[in-house]
Amino acid sequence: MKDRIVKDIMVCVLSQPQCILGFLHCRVMTFNTKLIIILFLCYNKWKIIYRKAGVIMINQLEIERVAKLARLKCTEKEVQQYTHQLGSILEYINTLNQIDTTDVEPTVQVISLKNVYREDKVQQSLDKEAIFANAPEREESYFKTPKILGR
């Protein structure tokens, strides 16, 4: 729980470093007071919802972080929608915590297959032209992409 709060604050701080840094350098308040104020600001700005047993539901900032990881661009409206919808899905999913799984092994696969190998032998592969026919852009036998570094 405590780790989570600190983590959330860190995320907030990192997102707006210039103002938060100035704030932290001010010497009028003790560190604890600053902490409380930052917490309050985070709570208001991103509406972090603390639920029973200290479980933190997903917030907008986290949605933005996840969208970035997933290489998805979300509109403001989508971010709000996902915050709400994923929040309620996660709440439902959290019912799993009612189950004690202390000594349970996680499932790896459902049928008893052992490692599957094949001989390291050259085989007929798919037709190159049929593959490239679906490429958005090609140059000779290469897939062409835009410049990888910014303009």
Partner 1 sequence: MELFRKSGRELSAMMLKREISVEDLLRAHLCRIEQIENKVKAFITITEERALKLARELDRQLASGAMDDRLSDLWGIPIGLKDNLLTRGIRTTSGSKMLAEYFPPYDATVVERLTRGGTILMGKTNLDEFAMGSSTENSAFYPTRNPWDLTRVPGGSSGGSAAAVAAGEVVLALGSDTGGSIRQPAAFCGIVGLKPTYGSVSRYGLIAFASSMDQIGPLTRDVTDSALVLNQLIGYDPRDSTSVRRGTEDFTQALITDVKDIKLGVPQEYFEQNIHPEISQLTYKAIRILEKLGAQVEEVSLPHTEMALPTYYILAPAEASSNLSRFDGIRFGKRAHEVTDLNDLYSLTRSEGFGSEVKRRIMLGTYTLSVGYYDQYYRKAQKVRTLIIEDFARVFANFDVLISPTTPTTAFKLQENLQNPLAMYKSDILTVPANLAGIPAISIPIGFDSTGLPIGLQILGKHFAEATLLRVAYTLEQELGLLAKKDWGITR
For partner 1, the binding residues (CB under 8 A) are 7, 58, 62-63, 65-67, 69-74, 78, 82, 85-86, 88-90, 92-97, 99, 101, 104-111, 113, 116, 118, 126-127, 130-131, 133-137, 143, 145-151
Minimum CB distance to partner 1, residue 148 (Å): 5
Minimum CB distance to partner 1, residue 83 (Å): 10
Give the integer Cα–Cα distance in Å for 135 and 145: 10
Give the integer Cα–Cα distance in Å for 146 and 141: 16
Residue 49, phi then psi, degrees to nearest 5 = -105, 120
User: Which residue, 23 or 87, is less far from partner 1 as judged by CB?
Assistant: 87
Looking at the DSSP bridge assignments, the partners of residue 138 are: 143
Closest to 58 in 3D by CA, of 33, 87, 36, 78: 87
Minimum CB distance to partner 1, residue 92 (Å): 6
User: Which residue, 17 or 136, is less far from partner 1 as judged by CB?
Assistant: 136
User: Which residue, 18 or 124, is less far from partner 1 as judged by CB?
Assistant: 124
Minimum CB distance to partner 1, residue 33 (Å): 28
